[in-house]
């Protein structure tokens, strides 16, 4: 079975630009969560979606937004990029509210 997939793998953007990251959950999983992992730190929760509805939001500015599509895939959008947004962005999927399975991540570099 295919695991969680994310695209792109790597991305380089300039300050002020916008970025869209994509995630496809494991087949049958309806919950998708997004995390930001800055180098040397633990992942920080950004958003959680279940059945296309936002179920939780972490302590991130409004520049961060997300959505979940009818096929349960998800997008994370970040506007007006800052240098501090450089991180590994992880997507995780779950059948419902239980163990999460993480994708390989998208490494975003903001210059």
Partner 1 sequence: ELKVEQNPLFLSMQEGKNYTIYCNYSTTSDRLYWYRQDPGKSLESLFVLLSNGAVKQEGRLMASLDTKARLSTLHITAAVHDLSATYFCAVDLGTGNQFYFGTGTSLTVIP
Burial of 60 (C-beta count, 10 Å sphere; 0-12/13-18/19+): middle
Q: Is 52 in the site for partner 1 (CB under 8 A)?
A: no
Q: Which of the ranges 12-20, 64-72, 75-83, 98-106 carries the binding residues for partner 1, by CB under 8 A? A: 98-106
Q: Which of residues 70-89 bind partner 1 (CB under 8 A)?
A: none
How many Cβ atoms sit within 10 Å of the Cβ of residue 24?
Answer: 21
25 binds partner 1 (CB under 8 A): no
Among 26, 81, 87, 103, binds partner 1 (CB under 8 A): 103
Query: What's the CA gap between 28 and 31, in Å, rounded?
Result: 9
- Which among 104, 106, 91, 105 is positioned nearest to 29, based on CA atoms? 91
| Nearer residue to partner 1 within complex by CB, 37 or 75 | 37
Asked whether 108 and 86 are in contact (CB, 8 A), the reply is: yes
Count of residues engaged in binding partner 1, rule: CB under 8 A: 25
Q: Of the two residues 17 and 27, which places its CB atom closer to partner 1 in the complex?
A: 27
- CA gap 92, 75 in Å, rounded: 12
The residues that touch partner 1, with contacts defined as CB under 8 A, are: 31, 33, 35, 41-45, 48, 50, 55-56, 58, 90, 92, 94, 97-105
């Amino acid at each position: 079975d295919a695991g969680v997939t994310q695209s792109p793998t790597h991305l380089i953007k300039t300050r002020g630009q916008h970025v869209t990251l994509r995630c496809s959950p494991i087949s049958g999983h309806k919950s998708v969560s997004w995390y930001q992992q800055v180098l040397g730190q633990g992942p920080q929760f950004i958003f959680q979606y279940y059945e296309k509805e936002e179920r939780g939001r972490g302590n991130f500015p409004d520049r961060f937004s997300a959505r979940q599509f009818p096929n349960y895939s998800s997008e994370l959008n970040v506007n007006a990029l800052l240098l501090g947004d450089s991180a590994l962005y992880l997507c995780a999927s779950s059948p419902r509210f239980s163990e999460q399975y993480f994708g390989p991540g998208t490494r975003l570099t903001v210059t």
